[in-house]
């Protein structure tokens, strides 16, 4: 079974909201190459904006979001996404982490991420119980 973690769900939700922002900006009908080029261009220009220019751009976006009553959802998704981090681990690194958590790593490399995630979730549950017992 291929189940997504809570963090993966949050990331997908954030990406969907980004797509919604593209639609709100009226760019959803543009071809992918143009859209990506426009976003890359904006990313480069962002580096040269003064604080005042950046505030004007943000104000323009905020007005549009407020008009569409999506500001709260977009900001919440953005804040959640800032708590997500992409991490690439080799099978050997995942095996070492699993061992460090006191468990045996599965032989099947396809099961390593599932095992590690389960151990980390269990560690969170144990930490919560310990904190409650104080």
For residue 128, what are the domain limits? 91-133
The answer to whether residue 86 sits within a structural domain is no
Domain count of the chain?
2
Q: Are residues 34 and 75 in the same domain?
A: yes
Q: Which residues of 24-43 are buried (b: 16+ CB within 10 A; e: fewer)?
A: beeeeeeeeeeeeeeeeeee
- Tens of pLDDT, residues 3-16: 778 888 888 888 99
The Cα–Cα gap between 10 and 90 comes to 24
- Tens of pLDDT, residues 20-65: 899 889 898 899 999 999 999 999 999 999 999 999 999 999 888 8
Q: Are residues 13 and 65 in the same domain?
A: yes
The answer to whether residue 64 sits within a structural domain is yes
The answer to whether residue 1 sits within a structural domain is no
Does residue 130 have a pLDDT over 70? no
Percent of the chain with pLDDT over 70: 89
Q: Are residues 76 and 113 in the same domain?
A: no
Residue 84's region, left for phi above 0, alpha for psi from -120 to 50, else beta, is beta
Q: Are residues 77 and 100 in the same domain?
A: no
- Tens of pLDDT, residues 84-124: 777 889 999 999 999 998 899 999 999 999 999 899 888 76
């Amino acid at each position: 079974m291929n189940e997504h973690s809570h963090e993966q769900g949050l990331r997908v939700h954030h990406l969907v909201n980004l797509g919604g922002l593209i639609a709100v900006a009226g760019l959803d009908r543009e071809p992918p190459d143009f859209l990506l080029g426009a976003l890359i261009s904006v990313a480069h220009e962002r580096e040269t904006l003064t604080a005042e220019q950046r505030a004007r751009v943000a104000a323009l976006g905020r007005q549009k979001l407020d008009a569409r009553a999506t500001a709260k959802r977009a900001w919440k998704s953005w804040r959640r996404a800032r708590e997500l981090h992409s991490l690439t681990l080799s099978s050997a690194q995942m095996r070492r982490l699993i061992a460090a958590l006191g468990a045996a790593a599965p032989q099947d490399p396809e099961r390593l991420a599932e095992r590690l995630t389960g151990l980390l979730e269990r560690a969170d549950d144990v930490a919560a119980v310990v904190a409650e017992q104080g």
